Chain A
């Protein structure tokens, strides 16, 4: 009988669970409170994108608390929407520069190509309230 001593470590490293099975967005690290959701179900953050693999041009995230963070890589984002009473700060990169965008509760903001600017990627989501 195996004693399992060659099994992998079970230390939580905060890397997104099962990220390698998701191709439409690169999910990196988080504190567990922002999770990729199903846009057909209630969600607190919706990101509009032209990135391949997103036929509805939309990716949705659920937020479990008034705080939370997730680092990710999602290209060609053109808008960010919040719902269900959550506000979020969005980390963006465009043309090699980074900036943040605050989206209030139940808000909608155009981003990058959505407001006639350069193609923009979302790299960080931080729940602010």
Chain B
């Protein structure tokens, strides 16, 4: 990016002075204080990325718009830079390195825009610690000024070590792009294609357009006869959806119904259904883990907490906040060993975690996620010989634990707000030889489903406002189910099962519509599934 004196601009102080001087000549264009306020900080344009394509084949500038994505110009990667629309998506033809700040990562994939000189470059590894540049949503207008930081040539530098910035005034605005003119001796030079054209509002930078073409007047190596400092940039202010859809692909933790399954390899797999968008992710993603024998999960707000029993019998957990990444696995403090079953329920910011210990008895611990700590020990609630356990917390803060006892019957007890336990009681309806159980709470109603002795799905519910259980189990469907889990989302209970074919199916108890939806296989082709859990982010 050409400045009046690029040599002086190597020093941060000089850069600030030069930028301030440029602004001084621009008072008719720039909102007062909008540009001059932030040029002083050395990392003001930290999102500016240098791209080196091939073995010094080409170089461009770009901007970090997501920890996994850089937005730049398609012409940087097209066989003929004059034909950017010919660029195909997929892995880049030439090995490409992106440098943002002190971090250098390779480009794994190119997603070109259909008809503008734009490409979203997906990074092989995320760049953290640098705030991505948000897209502008307001259209550019003639007469406005934009700042462009770029790694391109200057008046006298070929490959500068640092980006230089210039201010450009908008001359023309078309549906797909803008024409700008450099001010104060600024020009878009070779190496600046892909650079962000930034609007600065209240000190906050937003991406309006991406540099594409330039007359390059004043740039190193350009004849003095060329005096035009005009450039053309592709608009992005209207491409929020395009960028959003691509970005959402690399968000690890997505909003919605999270289903985690123990696969035939005894490892954990995950998929997500976004009920608001009406679609499943469509694939199962492997979760880095050792061998696992049991899994349960619960969501507190936008964070999913997953709990597993490893093949070593110990209890591990990890968290995923929507829009972010999963934490690494950590062991739940308390030294549980030989655990056989696990269930978690959330009341407020507290997770109440129950396991069936090696002795067959119910053991309990809890974590206060607001304070960020576990109790640190397991309490044996009573000596029993349990086969399965599930739980749900009602709106009143009571955690209701349901078990299949060694006699094949379903029993329940409550962990009250003060931490004390009620005694075991049985669930009305007399279900025997129960093979699977799951509970979910809607307000103060607990929906309880079981796999009956015949493998079919049965349902009942307890209304804790009215203080009573449905007196009988209702058979929902004739099945041969192997495992069952559920998660409530508002007034809908999502039931997810492993069928006799060891595949994962789902149906919902929709209390808004007063009906069960039909069974559908969870897309993604999971087979040989051993266990499942579901949790819905709020």
Mark each residue of chain B from 263 to 303: 1 if its CB lies under 8 Å from any CB of chain A, else 0: 00000000000000000000000000000000000000000
Q: Out of B189, B191, B220, B230, which one reaches A2, CB within 8 Å?
A: B230
Inter-chain contact B57/A9, CB cutoff 8 Å: no
CB distance from B211 to the nearest CB of A (A): 7
Residues of B within 8 A of A18 (CB): 220-223
- Which of A31-39, A52-60, A96-104, A112-120 lies at the interface? A31-39
Residue of B nearest to A13 (CB): B58
Q: How far is the CA of A10 from the CA of B234 in the complex (A)?
A: 13
Kindly state whether residue A12 has any CB partner on chain B within 8 Å: yes
The reply to whether B230 and A11 form a contact with Cβ atoms under 8 Å apart is: no
Q: Interface residue count for A (Cβ, 8 Å)?
A: 26
10 A-B contacts, Cβ less than 8 Å apart?
A: A1-B179, A4-B230, A9-B213, A10-B190, A11-B60, A12-B60, A13-B57, A17-B190, A17-B221, A29-B56
Q: Does B171 contact A (CB under 8 A)?
A: yes
CB distance from B501 to the nearest CB of A (A): 54
User: Do A21 and B223 form a contact, CB below 8 Å, given A2-B179, A10-B190?
Assistant: yes
Alpha-carbon gap, A4 to B81, bound state (A): 16
Tell me the A residues contacting B by CB distance below 8 Å. Answer: 1-14, 16-19, 21, 29-33, 35, 69
Task: Evaluate whether A11 and B75 lie within 8 angstroms (CB atoms) in the complex, with A3-B172, A32-B159 already known.
Answer: yes
Query: Cβ of A12 and Cβ of B231 under 8 Å apart?
Result: no
Contact A12 B59 (CB under 8 A): yes
Q: Which of B82, B152, B223 makes the CB contact (< 8 A) with A12?
A: B152
Q: How far is the CA of A8 from the CA of B152 in the complex (A)?
A: 15
Which residues of chain B in 171-189 are interfacial with respect to chain A, using CB atoms and an 8 Å cutoff?
A: 171-172, 174, 177-180, 188-189
Residue of B nearest to A14 (CB): B56
Complex alpha-carbon distance, A31 and B160, angstroms: 11
The 8 closest A-B pairs by CB, nearest first: A17-B221, A32-B159, A3-B179, A12-B191, A18-B221, A12-B59, A32-B158, A9-B81
Whole-angstrom distance between the alpha carbons of A107 and B188 in the complex?
40
Contacts of B221 in A (CB 8 A): 16-19
B153 within 8 A of A: yes
B200 lies within 8 A of chain A by Cβ: no
Q: Is the CB of B59 within 8 A of A14?
A: yes
Residues in A whose Cβ lies below 8 Å from that of B171:
1-3
Chain B: minimal CB distance from A83 (Å): 21
Closest to A69 in B: B56
B→A interface (CB under 8 Å)? 56-60, 73, 75-76, 81-82, 152-153, 157-159, 171-172, 174, 177-180, 188-193, 211-216, 219-223, 228, 230-232
Contact B153–A14 (Cβ < 8 Å): no
Q: Within the complex, what minimum Cβ distance (angstroms) separates B461 from chain A?
A: 65
Q: Check if B57 sits within 8 Å of A7, measured CB to CB.
A: no
Assembly CA distance A9 to B59 (angstroms) = 12
B176's closest neighbor in chain A, by CB? A5
Q: A5-B179, A11-B75, A31-B56 are in contact. List 5 more A-B contacts (CB 8 A).
A: A1-B172, A7-B213, A9-B82, A12-B152, A69-B56
Q: Which of A3, A8, A11, A69 contacts B58 (CB 8 A)?
A: A11
Q: Closest A residue to B187 by CB, please name it.
A: A10
Of A17, A35, A69, the most chain B CB neighbours within 10 A belong to A17
B216: min CB distance to chain A, Å? 6
Q: Known contacts A12-B190, A32-B158, A35-B158; decide if A7 and B215 are in contact (CB<8 Å).
A: yes
A17 contact set on B, CB distance < 8 A: 153, 158, 190, 219-222
| Beta-carbon contact of A11 and B172 below 8 Å | no
Task: Assess whether A10 is in contact with B179, with CB atoms less than 8 Å apart.
Answer: no
Chain B residue with Cβ nearest A7: B213
> In the complex, how many angstroms separate the beta carbon of B493 from the nearest chain A beta carbon?
55
Q: How far is the CB of B188 from chain A (nearest CB, A)?
A: 5
Output the least CB separation between B183 and chain A (Å).
15
- Find the residue from A18, A32, A69 having the highest chain B CB count within 10 A: A32
Question: How near does chain B come to A20, taking the closest CB pair, in angstroms?
Answer: 9
Q: What's the nearest-Cβ distance from chain A to residue B233, in Å?
A: 9
Smallest CB–CB gap between A57 and chain B, Å? 26
Q: A4-B213, A18-B221, A29-B56 are in contact. Are A9 and B193 (CB under 8 A)?
A: yes
The answer on a CB contact under 8 Å between B159 and A12 is yes
Closest to A18 in B: B221
A21 to B214, CA, bound (A): 21
A2–B189 Cα distance when bound, in Å, is 18
